[in-house]
């Protein structure tokens, strides 16, 4: 199978769904129509995965999309607790366990608040995970180039920003809808920690994004 700009049908829908699950930003409309937005998302994904960037979704791109987790695995070592932590009883009515992925390099105070948000959401039955935390200037420049971000002043560069998703959906399926309950719960939890939630932004709603206020 080889999909490219102009392709249509259910395999294109599947491709769009997979790209969303892998964090396509902005999330793609699942319409089975391989247009410019899908082309950009394919190229961004190929770039991220080190696949030849040609906008053609063939065996290699599909294989990577079907095979991997929500994001390219980070090279750095995982923490000793096997990458998971358990909330201390008393923090939350039920003891919850949340994945500690992508927290490396975050500002310590911000990181603690992000962990509190993860626990709060897990306590509500969600499967929250940080899809992306610290970003290098090169990664940010690439996102700006591809039109996924508008600023080189991102909180992600300072370790003061994180994107939190439910790992079952990422930005796909029901989470493609910005009114999805998970996003609402994330906003409530972020505000309770004194953080800024991207879903409150007027111009560029970014429902997965939370960041520390900067003075
Ligand atoms: Zn973000």
Distance 135 CA to ligand 1 centre (A): 9
pLDDT of residue 181: 98
Distance 214 CA to ligand 1 centre (A): 15
Residue 123 and residue 167 in one domain: yes
pLDDT of residue 90: 43
Any domain includes 2: no
Distance 169 CA to ligand 1 centre (A): 17
Distance 210 CA to ligand 1 centre (A): 7
Residue 91 and residue 120 in one domain: yes
Distance 208 CA to ligand 1 centre (A): 7
Pairing mode of beta strands 128-132, 161-166: antiparallel
Distance 32 CA to ligand 1 centre (A): 27
Residue 142 and residue 177 in one domain: yes
Question: Which CATH number do you get for residue 89?
Answer: 3.30.1380.10
Residue 103 and residue 35 in one domain: no
Distance 31 CA to ligand 1 centre (A): 25
Residue 143 and residue 46 in one domain: no
pLDDT of residue 95: 59
Any domain includes 76: no
Q: pTM higher than 0.85 for the full model?
A: no
**Distance between terminal CA atoms of the chain?**
51
Distance 83 CA to ligand 1 centre (A): 22
pLDDT of residue 68: 52
Residue 157 and residue 184 in one domain: yes
Any domain includes 72: no
Any domain includes 186: yes
Distance CA 213, CA 215 (A): 7
CA distances (Å), origin 114, targets 29, 111, 162, 189, 192? 28, 5, 8, 9, 11
Distance 132 CA to ligand 1 centre (A): 7
Distance 207 CA to ligand 1 centre (A): 9
Distance CA 131, CA 103 (A): 10
Residue 97 and residue 19 in one domain: no
Any domain includes 118: yes
Structural domain range at position 119 = 84-211
Any domain includes 205: yes
Distance 51 CA to ligand 1 centre (A): 24
- Split into its structural domains, the chain has a count of 2
Mean pLDDT by 10 residues, the chain (215 residues): 89 85 82 92 83 85 67 41 43 66 96 97 96 95 88 94 96 94 98 98 92 91
The last residue of one of the domains, among 37, 67, 97, is 67
Report the residue count for the chain.
215
Distance 144 CA to ligand 1 centre (A): 13
């Amino acid at each position: 199978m080889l999909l490219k700009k102009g392709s249509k049908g259910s395999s294109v829908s599947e491709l769009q769904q997979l790209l969303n699950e892998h964090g396509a930003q902005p999330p793609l409309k699942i319409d089975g129509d391989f247009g410019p937005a899908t082309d950009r998302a394919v190229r961004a994904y190929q770039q991220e995965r080190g696949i030849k960037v040609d906008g053609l979704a063939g065996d290699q791109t599909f294989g990577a999309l079907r095979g991997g987790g929500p994001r390219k695995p980070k090279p750095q070592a995982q923490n000793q607790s096997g990458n998971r932590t358990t909330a201390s009883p008393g923090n939350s009515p039920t003891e919850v366990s949340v994945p500690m992925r992508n927290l490396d390099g975050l500002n310590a105070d911000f990181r603690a608040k992000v962990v509190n948000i993860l626990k709060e959401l897990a306590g509500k039955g969600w499967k929250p995970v940080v899809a992306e935390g610290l970003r290098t200037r090169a990664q940010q420049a690439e996102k700006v180039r591809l039109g996924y971000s508008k600023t080189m002043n991102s909180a992600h560069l300072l370790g003061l920003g994180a994107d939190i998703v439910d790992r079952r959906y990422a930005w796909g399926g029901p989470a493609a809808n910005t009114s999805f309950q998970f996003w609402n719960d994330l906003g409530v939890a972020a505000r309770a920690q004194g953080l800024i939630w991207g879903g409150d932004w007027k111009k560029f709603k970014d429902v997965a994004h939370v960041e520390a206020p900067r003075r």
